[in-house]
Structure formats: structure tokens, C-alpha cells
Structure 1
Amino acid sequence: MEFSKEKDMRQPDLIIPYQEPAAKGDNVELQSTVSSTLPMAAVFLRNKYVGWAAVVFSLQSWLGESEETKKSSSTPGYFNVGMSVVSLLVTYLPIFLPQPGANVGSPTGAPAPAPA
């Protein structure tokens, strides 16, 4: 058996070395800002949907952290996840610990009679 050796068609003068693209720092900062402010918005608004969005977004940003992000960020990713879980618990708190006198009458019904 005879193997044929083909001529190498690659030309060394046309080789372009690979250069890694520069990392975009704006996306990391925006993601970090949103993952730390959404839990606060959920607590202030007492909105369960914002609380769930905060948990999902902070979990996503924590799992997507790179080594550069870990070095440059001031708070670790698991801290933002914990903060968002606590904000979700705060939004569900009125279900488990209702405030006394909060639901005395319905908002559309007649007011309760005043004592004579």
C-alpha cells in the first residue's frame, strides 16, 4: 500500500493569531446591581412576583459568575441569593402572621356600626 502525501496548502504568512476579545464590564455591573436591588424592591412593594423574579435573577447571576466577576464584585453571589430568599419570605409573611385588625371589614361593604 502506498500513501500519497499531498502538498500542504497552508501558507504561514496568512496565519492570523487568535486574540481573545476584551471582556465587557458593563454587563457584569448591571447584573450585579439588578440582583441586589430587586430584593429591596420586593420588600418595599410587598409584591410576590418581584420577589420570585429577584430569587430567579440572583440565582442566575450567582451561577453565571466568572473568576473575574468574583474578584471584582464587592459582595459574593450567594449573599444576593440569600437576600432575595429573605425578601421572598417577607412578601409571604402576612399570610403566616396576619396583622390584627387589618381585615376587619370588606373595603366595598358598609362600615361597621359605631357603638352607642
Structure 2
Amino acid sequence: MAPSKDMRRPDLIVPYQEPAASADKPEFSSTLSSTMPMVAMFTRNKFVGWAAVVFSIQSWLGESQEAKNSGTPGYFSVLMSVAALAVSYMPLFLPPKAVPAGSGTQAPAPVPLQ
């Protein structure tokens, strides 16, 4: 058998370089940490409010250098989630006014006979 001849040339070898991360790549964690407080405010759900606080603190502590330089700062989402938690607990401290049982469309009360 004839030995196989290697046709590769060492001067043409190009080492692999990892491509740079693009700056316009959306971050799911920042999107979620900004929408969860809004969900907590609209639904007044305390569990979602606490989850929003924990998740926004976690995403604030884990944000990359590119995320720090672009968009809103991480502490803004923490403040927003704390505000959402305060809104969800607001009826506990400021109870809503009692609404009469009627809707305003019922028949008037009967007039007593004289």
C-alpha cells in the first residue's frame, strides 16, 4: 500500500474564533423582570408580586456589562417590583369603600301604604 499524502498546508490553517455577542440580542430575564411587576399590579396577586421582587433582584445582580450600559438600569426593575408589591398589599392597609349591594338598575323600593 502506498502511504497517503496529506494535502493540508499548515500556513493556511485559520484558528477558530468565537463570534462576538451582538448587542441587539434580547434578554429574556430583563423582559420578565419588567413585566412581572405589571402583572402583579393588574391582578393584585401577592405571590406574583413577591416573585417579581425576587426575580428582579436576581436579574439585577446577574446582569452583564452590556446590559448595564444599555437600557434601563437594574435597580429600576427592583423599585418597580417593590412598588407592585405595595400595590398588591394596598387593600390591606387602605380598604376600599363599601359599595351598596344594588347596582342602580333595580326597581325602586316599594312605597308604604298610608
Fold match (TM-score > 0.5): yes
Report whether the alignment pairs 1:90 with 2:87.
Answer: yes
Structure 1 residues 26 and 85: alpha-carbon distance in aligned structure 2, compared to 1, 3 A threshold? same
Aligned residue pair count: 92
Structure 1 residues 26 and 50: alpha-carbon distance in aligned structure 2, compared to 1, 3 A threshold? farther
Give the whole-Å Cα distance in 2 for the aligned partners of 1:50 and 1:79.
18
Q: CA deviation at 1:68?
A: 1.5
Q: CA deviation at 1:30?
A: 0.8
Report whether the alignment pairs 1:75 with 2:72.
Answer: yes
Q: What is the CA deviation profile of residues 13-45 of structure 1, one whole-angstrom value per residue up to 9, with x for unaligned ones? A: xxxx89667548798611111000000000000
Contact 1:42–1:48, Cα closer than 8 Å, also in 2:
yes
Give the whole-Å Cα distance in 2 for the aligned partners of 1:92 and 1:55.
14
Larger radius of gyration: 2
Give the whole-Å Cα distance in 1 for the aligned partners of 2:77 and 2:51.
13
Q: Where do residues 1-116 of structure 1 align in structure 2 (5 Å cutoff)?
A: 23=21, 29-72=27-70, 74-101=71-98
Query: Which amino acid is 2:45 matched to?
Result: N
Give the whole-Å Cα distance in 2 for the aligned partners of 1:27 and 1:49.
30
Runs of 4+ in 1 over 3 A off after TM superposition: 17-28
Structure 1 residues 25 and 61: alpha-carbon distance in aligned structure 2, compared to 1, 3 A threshold? farther
Contact 2:23–2:66, Cα closer than 8 Å, also in 1:
no
Contact 1:35–1:58, Cα closer than 8 Å, also in 2:
yes
Contact 1:48–1:91, Cα closer than 8 Å, also in 2:
yes
Residue identity (%):
64
Q: CA deviation at 1:101?
A: 0.4
Q: CA deviation at 1:100?
A: 1.5
Would you tell me which structure has more helix in proportion to its own residues? 1
